Structure 1
Amino acid sequence: MIQGMDHLPTTQAAVNALRAIAAEYGREIEVSHDIGADQTSRRTAAGIGVTTDPDGSLPHDAYAEFGGLPRVSVRLYPDDDALIEVEGVQCPDVARDDVPAFLRSLFADRAHVKSRRFPPGHFLIVPLPGDRTHREYVPMLSLTPWLSGRVR
């Protein structure tokens, strides 16, 4: 996370953390923002011209793409979670506070792909703080060269 920051309370704070990680690992980052209930991805039921939630807040989604390998994109939702896509593998429901650690594991080459023989399958394993991991199924046909290079 950002130095001295234990919690990412807003989407903008999370975007700032993503920019800091991109700089830390020498990666380009491109960010786009969707602001307002009529624009955010999870507020599709918002009426035409309605920009605030019923509580008066202004929801904010952000989408970031990182340059280099692995190909990584992050969609930050206003509900304190994120969807991270790694080489085409979607990792949904990652807590916003875990996003920086997740990305550092990827960029520092600590993530790996676990293969099993029966039933056949592959899983992307991303270590997180506190002896936790994020585990995501990888379809056999989705193994890119980057993912194949991390099979254990």
Structure 2
Amino acid sequence: MAWLEVKDNKDIENLLNKFGGFHDSCLKELYMWTESYVDENLSMGMSLELDTNVRILFQRQFRDPSAIELLFEGVTQFHIVPSQINYDPIIFDAKLIFHKGLYYWADNYDWEPENYTLGSNSWISAKGLKWRDASSWMGKQNRYGVINGG
């Protein structure tokens, strides 16, 4: 599963066409990490760059591909709204754009970077974006980590 870099609007259009505009998809899981750490001697290590990265696994009710993974590098903002009780978490149409030097993904096509409200949509912005086919990752199983009972 090789990563494909999104470099321009044509790449965005190709990705949206390939994944059907995220129609009838869901955000299955995500994984976030930074370059900050504390080593064995309890010394802190960190980057002075944008070092937050997020991988998101999406699955959908269509084939070729039935799942993709997005990799956002240099995340600048990240807002996830969990689905409410008795609410359908299906994504009907997502927005993916390059705007003012950042890639934006939102779970609603009508979402705009300048007019967002924090409580209504899930969205992310980052300096870089890559994607790959993850169709072998269908089903309920977690791919980014195992959930243990304790």
Kindly indicate whether structure 1 or structure 2 has the higher relative contact order, using CA contacts under 8 Å at least 6 residues apart. Answer: 2
* Alignment TM-score > 0.5, same fold: no
Q: Provide TM-score, normalisation by structure 2.
A: 0.29
Q: Provide TM-score, normalisation by structure 1.
A: 0.29
Question: Whose helix proportion is higher, 1 or 2?
Answer: 1
